[in-house]
Structure 1
Amino acid sequence: MLCSVIIPLYNKAAYVAAAIESVLTQTYQDVEVIVVDDGSSDGGQAVVEGIRDPRVRFVRQPNGGVSKARNTGIDAARGELVVFLDADDWYGPYYIATMVELAKRYPDNCFYATSFKRVRGYDPADWSTAPPSPVPAELVENFYERRRINGALLCTNSVAVWRKHLAPLQPCFPVGESHGEDQDLWFRLGERLQLVYSPVELVAYRIAVAGSLVTTQAYERLMPVFERLEARALRGELKGAARTAALRVVGDARVSVARTQLERGRRGAALHQLWLARRARSKHWAVALMMCLLFSPKMVGRWSRWRMAQLAE
């Protein structure tokens, strides 16, 4: 089974060779690497072209954003199974073999993911232990409820999808968006297919990299991915428990927006978001409401910084 690995590249020349090497040294070798350069200006093309392996293909496009780069990679893919890798991250050596194992074990109407490691450096020793055989996996029954409870269940680097399921969704990633664009695809896949999930950490997600595709930010408005999810749920495209869970996911996202608004001193805007988020019915919503009624913006700021420090640890 040929696996296509899609790597969007934008000014990550210092990292991309290690990312590609992590694919070429997989225990599973039937792979192609499609590097889509999104108008880089730091010499990344020369780095990629210096890797003398026929499995590596280089595609260059004018700068159009990470979503367009990934969509270009999907169009260029020849493999049955498609996986993704950001240029400043890397795979552990057993990742693709595990994805192939899961795809063969659950071949019908599924997509696949593993857990991931948050890392601050490149340490090959982290991957010295092979995963259990067979790798543990579960069929996730309610995608949105699991997403709501577990939060960062997966990352872009840890997802595999049959190419035949991606083709009808093109453009798979919303062009022009660079925050939440990956979640948009996972949400739509979760509504059509069943997620097969393994809790084993098999890929690395590098944090605290300047210019990283994914950064921790405070948002003053609901991201489009959640606006679209809310619209689908309210239109009745999601039914029953899935609809309820999806609206609670959106509610939790609105709570985050409300905290940002409160920190900016916009209490009225924060209360408006909490009213819209009332479907969340979570402890996060209750805490945010209490903060909105009792805390000053400075107190909220101190609490937010403490919370981020706890998450970083």
Structure 2
Amino acid sequence: MLCSVVVPVYNKAAYLELAITSVLKQTHQDWELILVDDGSTDNSVEVIRRFTDPRIRLVQQPNGGVSRARNRGIDAAKGELVCFLDADDWYGPHYLAAHAEMATRHPDQQYFATCFRWVRDYVAAEWNVAPPQPLPVELVTNFFERRSHDGKMWHTNSIAIRRSVLQAMQPCFPVGESLGEDQDLWFRVGERYPLVYCPLPLVAYRMDVAGSLVITQARRKLTPVYERLEQRALAGHIRGSEGRAALRLVAHARVGIARQHMEAGERGRALAELWRGRRAWSRHWIAAVMMTVAFSPAMARRWNAWRKSRTPELITVNKSTST
């Protein structure tokens, strides 16, 4: 089964060799690697051209952002499965084999993912253990419920979708957006198809990379991906329990916005956002309400710093490989 790996590239010369080598070392060798250079101003293109494997293709375009680069890669793909990889991350050696196995075992399914591992540096010994056989997989039919309950179980690097599905959805990634643009697609695919999921962390997600879009500034409004998800759920495009779970997921995002207002001393705005996020009713929502009422901005900042130190996903919210 041919797997197309799409990598958007923008000024990631320092990391590209590891990313490309991780594809070359896959135990599943039926692949093509499409690197879309999005107008890099460093020597990223020179690094790519050092590799002579004919399965590696370089596509160049003027700088247009990560979404445009990924869409261009999808257009160029020829494989049955399309996979994605950020230029500063890497695949474990068994990653593509796991996707090929899941797609073969579930020929009627379209959407596949593995778990991923938060990392700071590459340590070869951590990636050399072969996964158990048969590969553990489950069919996730309650996509938004699982995402809301269990957090970020999958990541752009760990997802594969049949090319026919993506071609029908082009442009898949919202052009001009670089915050949550990947989640937007995963949400829309999750509305249509079950997810075949392997809980093994077979791919890396590198934290705190210079030049990545690491969110350090306050986010005080709902991002477009969650606005659109809320609109689709309220309009009835996501039905039943899944629609309610999607609205809870949006509500949890509103709680995060309320925390930012708390830190800025905007108590009234924080309470208003928590009211909009009341569908996220839980001990976390209740705690956020109590802290909004009782905490000073300095206390809120200290508490949020402690919370983020314990949760990698809250430290590195999103990375962008293009600008």
Normalising by structure 1, we get a TM-score of 0.98
| Identity across matched positions, percent | 59
**Pairs within 5 Å for 1:183-194:** 183-194=183-194
CA distance in 1 between counterparts of 2:82 and 2:144 reads 23
Aligned residue number for residue 222 of structure 1: 222
Q: Kindly indicate whether the alpha-carbon contact (under 8 Å) linking 2:39 and 2:61 is maintained by their aligned counterparts in 1.
A: yes
Aligned residue number for residue 263 of structure 1: 263
SS of the residue corresponding to residue 90 of structure 1 reads coil
Deviation string for 1:122-180 (max 9, x for gaps)?
11111121001111000012100100111111011000100001111111111111111
CA distance in 2 between counterparts of 1:214 and 1:74 reads 25
Aligned residue number for residue 150 of structure 1: 150
Equivalent AA in structure 2 for residue 247 of structure 1: L
Q: RMSD of the alignment, in Å?
A: 1.2
CA distance in 2 between counterparts of 1:217 and 1:89 reads 24
**Pairs within 5 Å for 1:88-167:** 88-167=88-167
What number of residue pairs does the alignment pair up?
313
Q: Are 1:66 and 2:96 matched, yes or no?
A: no
Q: Kindly indicate whether the alpha-carbon contact (under 8 Å) linking 1:252 and 1:284 is maintained by their aligned counterparts in 2.
A: no
Aligned residue number for residue 14 of structure 1: 14
Structure 1 runs not aligned, ≥5 long = none
Equivalent AA in structure 2 for residue 226 of structure 1: Y
Aligned residue number for residue 253 of structure 2: 253
SS of the residue corresponding to residue 132 of structure 2 reads coil
Aligned residue number for residue 52 of structure 2: 52
Runs (4+) off by over 6 Å: none
Equivalent AA in structure 1 for residue 254 of structure 2: R
SS of the residue corresponding to residue 310 of structure 2 reads helix
Normalising by structure 2, we get a TM-score of 0.95
CA distance in 1 between counterparts of 2:237 and 2:311 reads 34
**Pairs within 5 Å for 1:32-51:** 32-51=32-51
Deviation string for 1:175-231 (max 9, x for gaps)?
111111111011001001110111101001111111225556541111110000000
Aligned residue number for residue 243 of structure 2: 243
CA distance in 1 between counterparts of 2:68 and 2:117 reads 26
Aligned residue number for residue 75 of structure 2: 75
Aligned residue number for residue 318 of structure 2: none
Q: Kindly indicate whether the alpha-carbon contact (under 8 Å) linking 2:208 and 2:214 is maintained by their aligned counterparts in 1.
A: no
CA distance in 2 between counterparts of 1:217 and 1:98 reads 37
Aligned-residue offset at 1:282: 2.1
SS of the residue corresponding to residue 132 of structure 1 reads coil
> Which is worse superposed, 298-307 or 217-226?
217-226
CA distance in 2 between counterparts of 1:124 and 1:214 reads 25
SS of the residue corresponding to residue 70 of structure 1 reads helix
Higher relative contact order (CA 8 A, sep 6+): 2
Aligned pair in 2 of structure 1 residues 271, 193: CA closer, same or farther (>3 Å)?
same
CA distance in 1 between counterparts of 2:157 and 2:214 reads 12
